[in-house]
Structure 1
Amino acid sequence: MDERYSRQKNLVSQEKLKKANVLIVGVGGLGGFSSLNLALAGIGTLILLDHDVVERSNLNRQVLYRESDIGKKKVYIAAERLKDINPYVEIIPIEGRIGEVNIPQRVDVVIDGLDNMEARFKAEDFALSHGVPYIFGAVEGFMGMVTFIDKGTKRLEDFIHKFPEQIPQVLAPTAAFTASIQALEAIKYLTGKGDLLRNRLLIYDALSTNFLEVRL
């Protein structure tokens, strides 16, 4: 067990990660990559929440699914794949939508794996009402954005109107990169490392290979 995490043991507290419960709302593009990263890191418990089924159009960017999974519930397939990747992580799949189902487990941080604003507002409300942070992430084409929201920061309603909602065009590398930043924010928060993206919206433009930090 110790050998599994030997290449990260000097970077973060494995004990803190092992004790953590992370809720990932949506296990599609963003949620799939963020849950994969956190499972590899050895988060103690991953709670996966999703209502959707695997569609063929998902397969260009949703790393946990295969052709043979089409038509099956994402949350159960994701749980199986992640458990296979790291059997030492507890994976709890919950089928449903945020705000409509009960989350019986303790939650330490909520990660956004969603693709619509109505659900994001509900996920943010859930997190803040439970006194835990919400890590927002979104992708569109070659661009991704991430911020860290808690009770001491600006909320989605304060800035998200700048980004009109639409059906996004998404590439797997953009989703993977954005979700990796989200996972890193969660790991930093849970282990007390580094500076979090509080009141800072990080935007990555892959076409120009530029980072833009917007103060909120």
Structure 2
Amino acid sequence: MRESLNVYAVHSSFSEALLYPFGPEILIDATNSPESKQKCISYASKYNIPFFSASTNKDRGALVVFRPKNKIATLLSGSLESLLLNEFKGQAQGNYSSGVIAGLATEEVRKSVFQIKEYDHPLKNGSVIYYNINSSNRVGRQSDLRELLLDYYKEFNVLIIGAGAIGNFVALNLAMMGVGNIDIMDDDFIDHTNTHRQILFYGNRIGEKKAKVLCERIKEINPNVSSHPLVEKFTEGHEGLIKNGNGNGPYDLIFTCVDNQYSRYIINEFAVEYNVPVVDGGTGPTSGQVAVFVPGYTRCVTCQRNLKKKKKVVVNCREAEPSVVIPNIIIGSAMCGEAKRILYKGIDYTAPRILVYDAFSVGRLQTRPVLIDKRRKCQCQTKLN
């Protein structure tokens, strides 16, 4: 993906002797091993460097921060024990949960190296961030929703509209989840300005169609996935696509990864009409959010985001405010977490909230209530259970 990057692979468990030649300035432990994390704490304390402890399982994840300069405060707070993340010991790591936590960890590494604004502060020593798809607010340590047992996605048929930065991470996660059919719609081509954040467009693919290349990439990741490129821009003429699908039956779920309100509006309009769930994601340079429409359980994306049917001048991501890779990792992965809840039949969807990521907020990841204008009339209201 980036040939100029210096990467050293050390095929061993954590060892101070093996790290000595490299002299790391920041340490990250992304294992589910408390023993490995304990060694990292000792190393970080000895050499006075920041340490980030990250762990996940299939539905949850956590990131804990340790800054040895404030070691006394850490000891008093008891957060050295929290750095071990014992609750994840021995568990298999998940894909979308790992994506969310990896994005959060990467952002904290960036903040430890440089800040882009005067209020761009790193997390304080001992800070803990949780992501939990089984928590009603998505950031609770304890699960208050029924655990998801669904791990088999072969029969599902989904559509991703938008093959840009968010679309890359959504497609990557869905392929790793084993979703049976993934159609990808985008009329844009790969530009050199895309490659730093649209990670699956590595190699010499400049000038090729995004939808086509992205379909090829996810088939390389999971050869059992069926994926078809739709090299066209979504318009009001695609009502039949939302209603009937693309030859594999109606879609079980639509992901909107577009960069303008007009496209969101018409996609949502058809989704409401034909009762197709939607997971909508959007990002900026330092933030992002996820909104979800589940027929019968939530208001639609248009109502949640107060969208208007207004055409936008921007025609591709080169002309819009560009996002960066970190918000797209977090939001794209979180969108797939929401997809798992939607595709799991037999449970009530309990998220009339929008999931928000903000690199400048204290908690980084949070949910906020959906505030809908009471004067707004929409067909989705009549379908609420």
What TM-score, normalized to structure 1? 0.85
Structure 1 residue 147: Cα displacement? 1.4
In the other structure, the counterpart of 1:174 is 327
Percent identity (aligned): 28
Q: Give distance in 2, aligned partners of 1:95 and 1:129.
A: 24
Q: Does the 8 Å CA contact 1:25/1:123 hold for their aligned counterparts?
A: no
Q: Give distance in 2, aligned partners of 1:127 and 1:64.
A: 28
Q: Does the 8 Å CA contact 2:291/2:355 hold for their aligned counterparts?
A: yes
> Quick one: which amino acid aligns to residue 338 of structure 2?
E
Residue in structure 2 matching 1:157, options 302, 309, 313: 302
Aligned residues: 208
Q: Does the 8 Å CA contact 2:148/2:344 hold for their aligned counterparts?
A: no
Q: Give distance in 1, aligned partners of 2:226 and 2:336.
A: 17
Structure 1 residue 160: Cα displacement? 2.6
Structure 1 residue 121: Cα displacement? 1.2
Matches within 5 A, 1:86-165: 86-99=222-235, 100-101=237-238, 102=241, 103-104=245-246, 105=248, 106-152=250-296, 153-161=298-306
Name the one with the larger strand percent. Answer: 1
Residues 130 and 56 from structure 1, CA distance in 2 versus in 1: closer, same or farther, beyond 3 angstroms? same
Q: Does the 8 Å CA contact 1:149/1:198 hold for their aligned counterparts?
A: no
In the other structure, the counterpart of 1:4 is none
Matches within 5 A, 1:1-216: 12-15=149-152, 17-99=153-235, 100-101=237-238, 102=241, 103-104=245-246, 105=248, 106-152=250-296, 153-161=298-306, 167-192=320-345, 196=349, 198-208=351-361, 209-216=363-370
> Quick one: which amino acid aligns to residue 108 of structure 1?
D
RMSD: 2.6
Please list the CA deviations of residues 147-167 of structure 1 after superposition, one character each: whole Å capped at 9, or x if unmatched: 1113342233334359xx883
Structure 1 residue 11: Cα displacement? 6.1
Residues 136 and 130 from structure 1, CA distance in 2 versus in 1: closer, same or farther, beyond 3 angstroms? same
Aligned with 1:181: secondary structure?
helix
Aligned with 2:196: secondary structure?
coil
Q: Give distance in 2, aligned partners of 1:41 and 1:12.
A: 13
Higher relative contact order (CA 8 A, sep 6+): 1
Q: Give distance in 2, aligned partners of 1:13 and 1:205.
A: 30
What TM-score, normalized to structure 2? 0.50
Residues 73 and 44 from structure 1, CA distance in 2 versus in 1: closer, same or farther, beyond 3 angstroms? same
In the other structure, the counterpart of 1:3 is none
Aligned with 1:204: secondary structure?
strand
**Which stretches in structure 2 are left out of the alignment for 5+ residues?**
1-91, 95-146, 315-319, 371-385
Q: Give distance in 1, aligned partners of 2:195 and 2:214.
A: 13
Q: Does the 8 Å CA contact 1:112/1:134 hold for their aligned counterparts?
A: yes
In the other structure, the counterpart of 2:378 is none
Q: Give distance in 1, aligned partners of 2:272 and 2:303.
A: 15
